[in-house]
Chains A and B, each alone.
Chain A
Amino acid sequence: MEQALIRESTGRQSPTLVSRRVSRDNRQTVGDPFVADPRMTCRNVNVYYGDKRAIKNVSLDVGRNEVIAMIGPSGCGKSTFIRCLNRMNDTIEGCRVTGEITLDGQNIYDSGLDVVALRAQVGMVFQKPNPFPKSIYENIAYGPRIHGLVDSKAALDELVENSLKKAGLWDEVKDRLHEPGTGLSGGQQQRLCIARAIAVSPEVILMDEPCSALDPMATAIIEDLIDELRQHYSIVIVTHSMQQASRVSQRTAFFHLGDLIEVGATSQVFTNPLHELTEDYITGRFG
Chain B
Amino acid sequence: MTPNANGSPRTIDIVNRSLARRYLSERRFRMCGLAAITASLLFLCVLLFTIGKNGYTAFQQTVIRLDVHFDEEQFSSQDLNALDYQDLIRSSLQRLFPEVEDRSEQRMLRALVSSGAAFQLQESVAQDPSFIGKTIPLWFPASDEVDMVMKGHFKRTAPEEERPINDLQLQWIDRLAAENRIAFRFNKGFFTSGDSREPELAGIWGATTGSFFTLLVTLVLSFPIGVASAVYLEEFAPRNRLTDLIEVNINNLAAVPSIVFGLLGLSVFLNFFQMPRSAPVVGGLVLTLMTFPTIIIAGRAALKSVPPSIREAALGVGASKMQTVVHHVLPLAFPGILTGTIIGMARALGETAPLLMIGMVAFIVDIPRGFTDPSTALPVQIYLWADSPERAFVEKTSAAIMVLLAFMILMNSAAIYLRKRFERRW
Contact = CB atoms under 8 A, between A and B. Distances in A.
A142 B319 CA distance: 9
B152 interface: no
B302 to A, nearest CB: 15
A133 B316 contact: no
A146 interface: yes
Q: Is the interface of B mostly helix, strand, loop or mixed?
A: helix
Interface stretch (A30-38, A113-121, A246-254, A275-283): A113-121
B139 to A, nearest CB: 60
A120 B315 CA distance: 9
B425 A133 contact: yes
Nearest to B316: A124
A251 B128 CA distance: 97
Interface in B274-323: 307, 309-320, 323
A212 B421 CA distance: 34
Contacts of A124: 312, 316
A70 interface: no
A91 B319 CA distance: 13
Contacts of A91: 311-312, 315
B332 A119 contact: no
Nearest to A144: B317
Contacts of A182: 425-426
The 4 closest A-B CB pairs, nearest first, are A143-B317, A130-B309, A120-B318, A119-B318
A131 interface: yes
B328 interface: yes
A193 interface: yes
A196 interface: yes
Interface in B319-338: 319-320, 323, 327-328, 332
Interface in B348-374: none
Interface in A103-154: 116-120, 123-126, 128, 130-133, 142-143, 146-147
A132 B328 contact: yes
12 contacts: A88-B312, A88-B316, A91-B315, A118-B318, A120-B318, A124-B312, A132-B314, A133-B310, A142-B319, A143-B319, A146-B317, A197-B316
Contact of A130 (B310, B318, B327): B310
A133 B426 CA distance: 6
A146 B313 contact: no
B9 interface: no
B239 interface: yes
Contact of B316 (A93, A126, A128, A147): A126
A237 interface: no
B424 interface: yes
Given A93-B239, A116-B320, A182-B425, A132 B313 contact: yes
Given A132-B328, A182-B426, A200 B313 contact: no
B137 interface: no
